[in-house]
Amino acid sequence: MKRDVSAQLEIAVSGPTTLEFQIAVARQPGIELTESLVFDLDGRRIAAQEILGPHGTRIHKFEVGTGALQVRYSATVFGTAIAEPISDYDLAVYLRPSRFVESDKLLGFAAAEFPSGATPADIAAIVSSWVGRRVRYVAGSSDPIDGAVETLLAGAGVCRDFTHLLVALLRALKVPARLVSVYAPGLFPMDFHAVAEAYIDGGWRVLDATHLAPRLSLIRIATGRDASDAAFLDNHGGEVYVSNMQVSATIDGYLPFDNGTAPVTLW
């Protein structure tokens, strides 16, 4: 399978700061990757430090002064990733509440709303379907600091909100779950996308309560407890403003069919 992705950002930087980007495709065994990543401030090239994280995640970090920053990333992705060994540490971490996934606040709600005694696979299917029915996709309806509880109360959000609520409910029901930022061929409108992975039948299976893109075409960028671990941009200093962002993700041939319920592994 051949997939092509790209991201272009224009960012106004008002003061000296340190920036961290997570827009590069995750490096995973079995994936052949040809890519280009360029950072320019007022036409001057900036060298970035690459920091390797879990599950192939890569952070690109650099210090920058005031000016107009242009970011250009493109990649061609071939192959199928080899599933990483299951880590007991991951299974523990991805059961805990986190910044935007307040599973501890939803223990009683989850126990009352969903059937007990079901298998993790059944729980994941039931909860994903429930979130898809309960939450409306409304662009601009949530704030970046909203978590799963705010999404449950509001009943609306974007992909990260769907995923936070889904992951929170799964953790509350004792199913390890995590958030993954992805490039998503077929997504409309095109953007960075967020989906969930749940530990089911000895492996990590992809869940997307929005059903906005076929799961078999997704390309992993960053993986973590919630959006705070997988944000495409993190700022540590002066104010920044993203004035323009364009994301593209395509696949050779037809998009794969996805009925939304069959177990899928994110390759």
Tens-of-pLDDT digits for all 267 residues of the chain?
899 999 999 999 999 999 999 999 999 999 999 999 999 999 999 999 999 999 999 999 999 999 999 999 999 999 988 888 999 999 999 999 999 999 999 999 999 999 988 999 999 999 999 999 999 999 999 999 999 999 999 999 999 999 999 999 999 999 999 999 999 999 999 999 999 999 999 999 999 999 999 999 999 999 999 999 999 999 999 999 999 999 999 999 999 999 888 889 987
Whether residue 160 is contained in a domain is answered as yes
pLDDT tens digits, one per residue of 13-64: 999 999 999 999 999 999 999 999 999 999 999 999 999 999 999 999 999 9
Whether residue 1 is contained in a domain is answered as no
Whether residue 38 is contained in a domain is answered as no
Residue 123's domain comprises 88-182+190-216
**Domains contained in the chain, number:** 1
Whether residue 222 is contained in a domain is answered as no
User: For residues 204, 178, 240 and 244, what is the CA-based torsion angle, rounded to 10 degrees?
Assistant: 50
pLDDT tens digits, one per residue of 59-86: 999 999 999 999 999 999 999 888 889 9
Would you put residue 211 in left (φ > 0), alpha (ψ -120 to 50) or beta?
A: left
Q: Residues near 14 by Cβ (< 8 Å), separated by ≥ 6? A: 66, 238, 239, 240, 241
Whether residue 57 is contained in a domain is answered as no
Q: For the chain, what percent of residues have pLDDT higher than 70?
A: 100
Which CATH number belongs to the domain containing residue 143 in this structure? 3.10.620.30
Whether residue 35 is contained in a domain is answered as no
Whether residue 197 is contained in a domain is answered as yes
CA dist., res. 49 & res. 63, Å (int): 10
Whether residue 137 is contained in a domain is answered as yes
